[in-house]
Structure 1
Amino acid sequence: MSANIGISASILTDRDGMFPGYKRCYVNQDYIEAVVKQGGIPLVLPITDDSDIIEKQIDMLDGLILSGGHDVSPALYHEDPLEKLGETLIERDQFDFQLIKAAIKKNIPILGICRGAQILNVYFGGTLYQDTSYRELNTIRHWQSYNPTEKTHQITIQSDTRLEKIFNETSLYVNSFHHQLIHELASNFKVNAYTNDRSIEGFESKGHQYIVGIQWHPEMLWRESSMDVLFKDFINQTESM
């Protein structure tokens, strides 16, 4: 039986064209293709503030993917906005928080990608660097503004982690599209991958529930086999519950 995989959507506001300011529900097609390739049934979850609807959204799901998008509001981790903070969308932050809460209650697997990893960390009490430049250590470039399938930096996978079992590798090259970083990791998680500048590139739950957060964009690499194992492991976990 195929697993229903929810993918959190965002809101895209038209900047020009026929309807400037018009809001659209959207999620990048790559997330859908990555799920379909592994036999899952993708269900896009539009933003709403209705908690009853959110509960019903999660009730339909076997697994939840928290997708990328806007910067997470620093108000959620008790900081004021700094100069290099990007565009935020508090409606989405609140929606994702409710999705996470309901998914934890139902005990379904959660995969957070880029912003999705960051919102998971903040939900559980962690913090973020609002921009890589605010990190005290020298930091490599984590934002590539060109080919989304080009792998631009290396990650080192930590031993005795789920990520090590998934990839069966100690290091990988990945693509990168984030200017915020994990600062303080929530106590619920352990690091499963670092970059060469010792930035946290991935983490996973210490508990029994499958929660994995990664900063790169494996869905953009769905056409090649290198990232299949990640989505396969996630969807297999939904089917074993």
Structure 2
Amino acid sequence: MPRPLIGVTLDAEKPGGYSKFPWYALRQNYLDAIDAAGGLAVALPHEPDRVGDYLERINALVVTGGAFDVDPAYYGGGPAHATVVTKDRRTAFEFAVTRGALDRNKPVLGICGGQQLLHVVLGGTLIQHIPDAVAAALAHEQPNPRDEPGHIVTVARGTQLHGIVGADELAVNSAHHQAAADAPDGVVVNATAPDGVIEGIEAPRYRFCIGVQWHPEFLISEGDARLFRAFLGAAAAP
């Protein structure tokens, strides 16, 4: 059988560094993890008018992370915290393609900032800056390398995520200053950090709709690999 086609969202950078002109960016291990799990990855440029065309062709969607934030206007979050950085065209595209994928019941995996975007699409709100909102918060922007664990998460029994990873705890990496703030109707919190910060969500009404706050594409645990395999299994299903 042909490999399922997995759309992967890109980051966007202003001129400078790699090029004197605007450029897209995507860490290689997102694509490596999809390939290893049995998928054929394709990058999705930020073209809101092409969302329908992309969704006709892809079997599933990965919403990636990045060093930016969802504009609080998307979730009624009030004034932006001083630390908030937005990328408006990227967010407009990701919001539209994620909502479109869910409307078509195509599998969606949100990673880090992609989990936050997915949470907002599902009707949730965000903590704009964890250190200002959570007492005794962990270092969610871990000081050690991203291919090492930063803390553990507790995986809620009875959730789809728990069934996939087969463990009550996972060691995860951590690179975020925002997080899901609530559990709106239809959204289940499937993982939490020791300080209570939401680390994973899922929406059981869809065949596969999971967001995790860590970066499973680094494959630092067997649970990460199982998550990608389950996502690809859903993408390959008729």
Structure 1 length normalisation: TM-score? Answer: 0.92
- 1:145 Cα deviation from its structure 2 partner: 4.1
Which residue in 1 is equivalent to 2:192?
A: 194
Question: What residue identity is the alignment partner of 1:122?
Answer: V
- 1:206 Cα deviation from its structure 2 partner: 2.9
Which residue in 2 is equivalent to 1:64?
A: 61
Q: For residues 83-122 of structure 1, what are the structure 2 equivalents within 5 Å?
A: 83-85=82-84, 87-122=85-120
Question: What residue identity is the alignment partner of 1:239?
Answer: A
- 1:100 Cα deviation from its structure 2 partner: 1.3
Give me the whole-angstrom Cα distance separating, in 1, the residues matched to 2:151 and 2:178: 16
- 1:40 Cα deviation from its structure 2 partner: 0.5
Q: Work out whether residues 4 and 60 of structure 1, in 8 Å CA contact, stay in contact via their aligned partners in 2.
A: yes
**Structure 1 unaligned spans of 5+:** none
Give me the whole-angstrom Cα distance separating, in 2, the residues matched to 1:129 and 1:229: 28
Count of residue pairs the alignment pairs up: 235
Q: 1:225 to 1:184 in 2, by over 3 A?
A: closer
- 1:25 Cα deviation from its structure 2 partner: 1.6
Give me the whole-angstrom Cα distance separating, in 1, the residues matched to 2:122 and 2:150: 30
Q: 1:57 to 1:173 in 2, by over 3 A?
A: same
Question: What residue identity is the alignment partner of 2:54?
Answer: Q
State the Cα deviation string for residues 127-176 of structure 1 (Å, max 9, x = none). Answer: 11111122143211101244111101010000100111111110011000
Q: Work out whether residues 200 and 211 of structure 2, in 8 Å CA contact, stay in contact via their aligned partners in 1.
A: yes
- 1:16 Cα deviation from its structure 2 partner: 4.7
Q: 1:133 to 1:13 in 2, by over 3 A?
A: same
Question: What residue identity is the alignment partner of 1:96?
Answer: E
Q: Determine what percentage of the aligned residue pairs are the same residue.
A: 31
Give me the whole-angstrom Cα distance separating, in 2, the residues matched to 1:192 and 1:147: 25
Question: What residue identity is the alignment partner of 1:63?
Answer: A
Structure 2 length normalisation: TM-score? Answer: 0.93
Farther off after superposition, 206-215 or 109-118:
206-215
Q: Work out whether residues 12 and 24 of structure 2, in 8 Å CA contact, stay in contact via their aligned partners in 1.
A: yes
Give me the whole-angstrom Cα distance separating, in 1, the residues matched to 2:235 and 2:59: 5
Q: For residues 136-151 of structure 1, what are the structure 2 equivalents within 5 Å?
A: 136-151=134-149
SS of 2:42's partner is strand
Which residue in 1 is equivalent to 2:237?
A: 240
Which residue in 1 is equivalent to 2:8?
A: 7
Give me the whole-angstrom Cα distance separating, in 2, the residues matched to 1:17 and 1:25: 10
Which residue in 2 is equivalent to 1:39?
A: 38
**Structure 2 unaligned spans of 5+:** none
Q: Work out whether residues 119 and 201 of structure 2, in 8 Å CA contact, stay in contact via their aligned partners in 1.
A: no
Which residue in 2 is equivalent to 1:227?
A: 224
Q: Work out whether residues 97 and 123 of structure 1, in 8 Å CA contact, stay in contact via their aligned partners in 2.
A: yes
Question: What residue identity is the alignment partner of 1:206?
Answer: P
Farther off after superposition, 203-212 or 168-177:
203-212
Give me the whole-angstrom Cα distance separating, in 1, the residues matched to 2:19 and 2:25: 18
Q: Work out whether residues 155 and 172 of structure 1, in 8 Å CA contact, stay in contact via their aligned partners in 2.
A: yes
Give me the whole-angstrom Cα distance separating, in 1, the residues matched to 2:134 and 2:24: 37
State the Cα deviation string for residues 43-68 of structure 1 (Å, max 9, x = none). Answer: 10011131xx1111111111100000
Give me the whole-angstrom Cα distance separating, in 1, the residues matched to 2:17 and 2:107: 38
Give me the whole-angstrom Cα distance separating, in 1, the residues matched to 2:195 and 2:34: 31
Moved over 6 A (4+): none
Farther off after superposition, 169-178 or 143-152:
143-152
Q: Work out whether residues 122 and 186 of structure 1, in 8 Å CA contact, stay in contact via their aligned partners in 2.
A: no
Q: 1:17 to 1:232 in 2, by over 3 A?
A: closer
Give me the whole-angstrom Cα distance separating, in 1, the residues matched to 2:120 and 2:182: 9
